[in-house]
Structure 1
Amino acid sequence: MKRKVPYLKLFFFTVPRRRGIAARLAVLSLVLAAIAAAWCLADLTSQVLLPPQPILALDHYAINRSLKSYLDNISVLIEPSSTVCSDNKRVDVLVLVTSSPKRFAQRQAIRDTWGKYVPAYFVLGLDGPAVEDLTADNYLEAKAYGDMIIFQFLDHYQNLTLKSALMMQWTAARCPSHLDELMLFKTDDDVLVNPWVLRRVVQQNSGKDLIGYRKVNSYLHRDAYNKWYVPRWLHRHDFVPEYLSGTGYLIKGSRLEEILQAAFEVPIINLEDVYFTYIVSKIKLNLTLTHDRRLSPYKPWLPLDCIYWGLASTHSLTPNEILGAWPSIERLGKRYEHGFDNCLYFVNNIWTELYLY
């Protein structure tokens, strides 16, 4: 068996003794210098390999955190000439969908599927801050479908709080006679909505102020590379006891103006769901956040019809996934209208959130 030689020890102790401690210290210094150089090189390499710093678009919040002053300076450029609220018919649920200028495919997928069964309008800003940033394609799309509400502000993920506030303000202004009966469903354009189950959620939670998928005991992200980054100067508390996921939550119509007025007294942050459902609604107004797992921020990893049917909303779907899942939901929905619930046993006895991711 070959014997291992401790080369470093051998080197140290084979230095002639007449050179003494000085020689050994010199060698040790060289070794430490080499280790330090390697450490610095590794650190430099890791910095070079990091992706570029993301565009945070948060500078304006350092100057102004008054929601009211933002809303007072944002005008609506395009909106439907008439809405479901223009009629005298009862409106139980109104869906406003956050979108952005270039997401044509997402909007069209919704129009071709669940948007045919529930009043839905798309809310978006511009690719820039000026009116000239309204693209011809968006203008023609809005005129063709009559379901787009376009505001004059920069459409950016960090401005989602402004967009959500504009949704509430627009609904309160355009549906004043329906607010006592109406529930506003705020959702995203990558969400598949089941209109039949959504209405069931509304009926079963009648009188509740805010309904959604409640997240509990969450920590804010302090990493600037994270999509949900919140700098400490925007919100100093690291911990959020509860809030409703922004992928889709319901607000009682009669509470919209109250929530907005309260928000005018609370400094804005960039996470709209934490801001409106927790900081404003829960902390400022002491409203109850009602959890309903059917308003899910997840999607099935096993795409079975009855798993989809167990949800009122499903998040993070591509346009093709929405189009692919819809025919089964529509078929089940039409049977449900005639008194048949093919998935009743599955949903009541087998369905579990383990099917989601």
Structure 2
Amino acid sequence: MDRVRLMPLELPPASSINTNGTGKTKSSFLRRLALGFGLLAILGLLYVPAYHSAQGSLQGLGEIPNPSPPWPSQPMASVAQLPGWAYNTTRDIRAYIQPESNTTIIAPIGICTVPPYLIIIICSSALNLKTREAIRNTWASKVNTNNVYNMTVEVGFLVGENNNETLSELLEAENAQFKDIIQEKFYDSYNNLTIKSVMMLKWVTSNCGQAKYLMKTDDDMFVNVPALVKHLQTRPSPSGALIGSLICNAKPIADSKNKWYMPKYMYSERTYPNYLSGTGYVMSMDVAVKLYETALETPLIYLEDVYVTGICAKRAKLHPSNHPGFSFAVRKFDPCVFQTLITAHKVSPTNLYTMWQKIHDKNVKCPNSSPDQKKGNLIRKGRNAGHYSVRRRTINKCV
């Protein structure tokens, strides 16, 4: 803009004004007004892409914007956004699960043709081929599930989508060989584990609804299937079961730098409901149906164990129960301990092979009960104790 136009103007005496110039003055004023509106329009066009660029940096893959953010009055600058789950991302799980659609990309072959007593779904990743191979060769081997465990036990590996075409082809080939891969239509990431677990409930209730029990576990776990089946057979009825390692009075993490950070816009209560560690839990099929139906009406939080076995269970009036055989802790690497537990966490493929051999070594002599079983309650250290601010004295109140 011309510098002269920005300086104060000295008005001439009224007597010197020529009334014939009124039209020219009005014309000049209109030109200036039009120029001002033009500059404002240009600034507006520059602002819009800059704003969306800033917003886009907060959103992760697969996010769906929420038309009505839950905390519209809270300043964005004061809230640390959770990667993949910004405050304005919809948490309506129906948008991700698509309950009315078939979302299965790869389906296992023959699983649940005969209704199993127990179906075990192992949450895995497309990359973890060696881990799945170790599990198939040890506690989930077909020889054991078909002949040794004295009950029909089926095992499937649940994975999500990935952007690697080679990995996708390998998964298809793996399923053609072992017939135990379930791939569902969602992006596989840590912060999408809740979607993964609800996809599990969807697939099992839709394809294996005649099973008696469902177990969810991870691919870094050892599962003592005979001990689990033995416990389930002692139950008076195959209904109402929701069993695992119970966590009580856990508090959300407010530190945004922590991996298990829980923002207030996602969960605002002071404590979580009592829930089962996601490393491994078991439910009867009627409970699986209730949890799935409840999840479809419950806003999502990204910690899957808190969401499925805590929040959804509470809304469905279900009560998770503790069993000392389940643990998220790292167990003592002792075959006598592994023979009596139900789950052990953070077992590498190499250690899995080693322990499997030791468990079946007839020269290994064990007492009638292991130290873990005598204690009743394990010392619960590890993921949940550290990341959900659980105190040991608080955990001991779990009943």
Return the alpha-carbon distance in structure 1 between the equivalents of residues 250 and 312 of structure 2: 17
**1:275 is paired with a residue of what secondary structure?**
helix
The alignment's TM-score, normalised by the length of structure 1, stands at 0.73
The alignment's TM-score, normalised by the length of structure 2, stands at 0.66
Matched-pair contact (CA < 8 Å) for 1:194–1:329: no
Matched-pair contact (CA < 8 Å) for 1:95–1:184: yes
* 1:66 aligned partner: 92
Return the alpha-carbon distance in structure 1 between the equivalents of residues 218 and 311 of structure 2: 21
Matched-pair contact (CA < 8 Å) for 1:307–1:351: no
> Do structure 1's residue 105 and structure 2's residue 133 form an aligned pair?
no
* 2:323 aligned partner: 292
What is the alpha-carbon root mean square deviation over aligned residues? 2.7
**1:86 is paired with a residue of what secondary structure?**
coil
Return the alpha-carbon distance in structure 2 between the equivalents of residues 220 and 352 of structure 1: 23
Matched-pair contact (CA < 8 Å) for 1:54–1:225: no
Return the alpha-carbon distance in structure 1 between the equivalents of residues 159 and 381 of structure 2: 29
* 1:40 aligned partner: none
**1:344 is paired with a residue of what secondary structure?**
coil
* 2:282 aligned partner: 250
> Do structure 1's residue 136 and structure 2's residue 183 form an aligned pair?
no
Q: Give the direction of change, closer, same or farther, for the CA distance of 1:304–1:54 in structure 2 (3 Å limit).
A: farther
What percent identity do the matched residue pairs reach?
A: 28
Q: Give the direction of change, closer, same or farther, for the CA distance of 1:142–1:344 in structure 2 (3 Å limit).
A: same
Deviations 1:98-155 (A, max 9, x none): 0111111211111110111342110001224xx9585322222222211100112210
Return the alpha-carbon distance in structure 2 between the equivalents of residues 157 and 208 of structure 1: 29
Residue correspondence of structure 1 range 72-221 to structure 2 within 5 A: 72=98, 75-83=103-111, 85-87=112-114, 91-116=116-141, 117-118=144-145, 119-128=154-163, 135-176=168-209, 178-179=210-211, 182-205=212-235, 206=237, 207-221=239-253
Matched-pair contact (CA < 8 Å) for 1:269–1:275: yes
C-alpha deviation, 1:345, in angstroms: 3.8
Deviations 1:295-333 (A, max 9, x none): 111122x3221111221110111111111111233457x
- Letter paired with 1:111: R
1:344 to 337, 346, 368: 368
* 2:84 aligned partner: 57
2:267 to 235, 240, 264: 235
- The count of corresponding residues between Structure 1 and Structure 2 is 287
Q: Give the direction of change, closer, same or farther, for the CA distance of 1:198–1:331 in structure 2 (3 Å limit).
A: farther
Structure 1: unaligned runs, 5 residues or longer: 1-52, 336-340
Return the alpha-carbon distance in structure 1 between the equivalents of residues 369 and 124 of structure 2: 36
**1:169 is paired with a residue of what secondary structure?**
helix
Matched-pair contact (CA < 8 Å) for 2:243–2:322: yes
Matched-pair contact (CA < 8 Å) for 2:240–2:284: yes
- Letter paired with 1:76: T
Matched-pair contact (CA < 8 Å) for 1:201–1:312: no
Deviations 1:227-253 (A, max 9, x none): 222211111113124110000001111
Deviations 1:31-72 (A, max 9, x none): xxxxxxxxxxxxxxxxxxxxxx9982224x732111122111
Matched-pair contact (CA < 8 Å) for 1:309–1:343: no
Return the alpha-carbon distance in structure 2 between the equivalents of residues 137 and 95 of structure 1: 22
Deviations 1:196-245 (A, max 9, x none): 11112322344442011001111112223322222111111131241100
Matched-pair contact (CA < 8 Å) for 2:273–2:311: no
**1:158 is paired with a residue of what secondary structure?**
helix
Return the alpha-carbon distance in structure 2 between the equivalents of residues 132 and 66 of structure 1: 29
Return the alpha-carbon distance in structure 1 between the equivalents of residues 84 and 102 of structure 2: 18
- Letter paired with 1:196: P
Which has the higher Rg, Structure 1 or Structure 2? Answer: 2
> Do structure 1's residue 276 and structure 2's residue 276 form an aligned pair?
no
Return the alpha-carbon distance in structure 2 between the equivalents of residues 66 and 281 of structure 1: 17
Return the alpha-carbon distance in structure 2 between the equivalents of residues 290 and 351 of structure 1: 14
- Letter paired with 2:277: S
C-alpha deviation, 1:353, in angstroms: 2.8
Q: Give the direction of change, closer, same or farther, for the CA distance of 1:211–1:58 in structure 2 (3 Å limit).
A: same
